[in-house]
Chain A
């Protein structure tokens, strides 16, 4: 299994600003993932972040809006750029260690 922490746990931001979310895992992992869960909906994969390579984005998500860093095997960041109220969601980090484990999520409200 894996223990995953995220910072911040929640935030309220003004439109047009950016927020960087951190994800820390307690063991070295190759694959990390970022998901979005919009209010009342299920999870949608934003991108896959492998250490040492560029992140791979899913259809509908672009690097300019959601830049990702993966500096080592235990850490990743997701930035939500130029935010609008439509970006209000829970952002979840996950890692694959035999199966996929999820962090506690970051609740983002954009006003």
Chain B
């Protein structure tokens, strides 16, 4: 059974204080690992897809990396508008369903 564990559950940062979110996973043949951002009362917003170990992708202050067992979402010099819940999900090679982690709730204080 595919499993995704995210840590920490919640993270408070000061504006400009860089940090990383972790996503550990087990999957029977990885097709893709996904990062989403979810604001309160809204649907998840797609950020990145990573397909193979060693792959990295960047978007503004966010950088996602992937190993064979985990992914990191690095946030550099965060701003208050980066406050949201960040969700990690995996997709197995055998199908299209996404298995989600519980998310990390990020708060960036000005």
Contacts and interface: CB of A to CB of B under 8 A. Distances in A.
A43 B96 contact: no
Interface stretch (A64-72, A75-83, A97-105): A97-105
Given A58-B97, A99-B32, A100-B98, A42 B87 contact: yes
Given A48-B96, A99-B34, A43 B87 contact: yes
At the interface, is chain A mostly helix, strand, loop or mixed? strand
A104 B46 CA distance: 12
Interface residues of A, number: 21
Contacts of A103: 43
B97 to A, nearest CB: 5
A103 B36 CA distance: 13
Range for the number of chain B residues in contact with chain A: 20 to 34
B8 interface: no
Given A102-B43, A102-B44, A105-B42, A42 B102 contact: yes
Nearest to B32: A99
A107 interface: yes
Interface in B71-100: 87, 89, 91, 96-98, 100
Nearest to A96: B96
Contact of B43 (A1, A48, A105): A105
Contact of A45 (B32, B44, B97): B97
A79 to B, nearest CB: 20
Interface of B: 32, 34, 36, 41-46, 49, 87, 89, 91, 96-98, 100-103
24 contacts: A31-B96, A41-B102, A42-B102, A43-B44, A43-B87, A43-B89, A43-B98, A43-B100, A44-B100, A45-B97, A45-B98, A48-B96, A92-B44, A96-B96, A99-B32, A99-B49, A100-B34, A100-B96, A100-B98, A101-B46, A102-B45, A105-B41, A105-B42, A107-B41
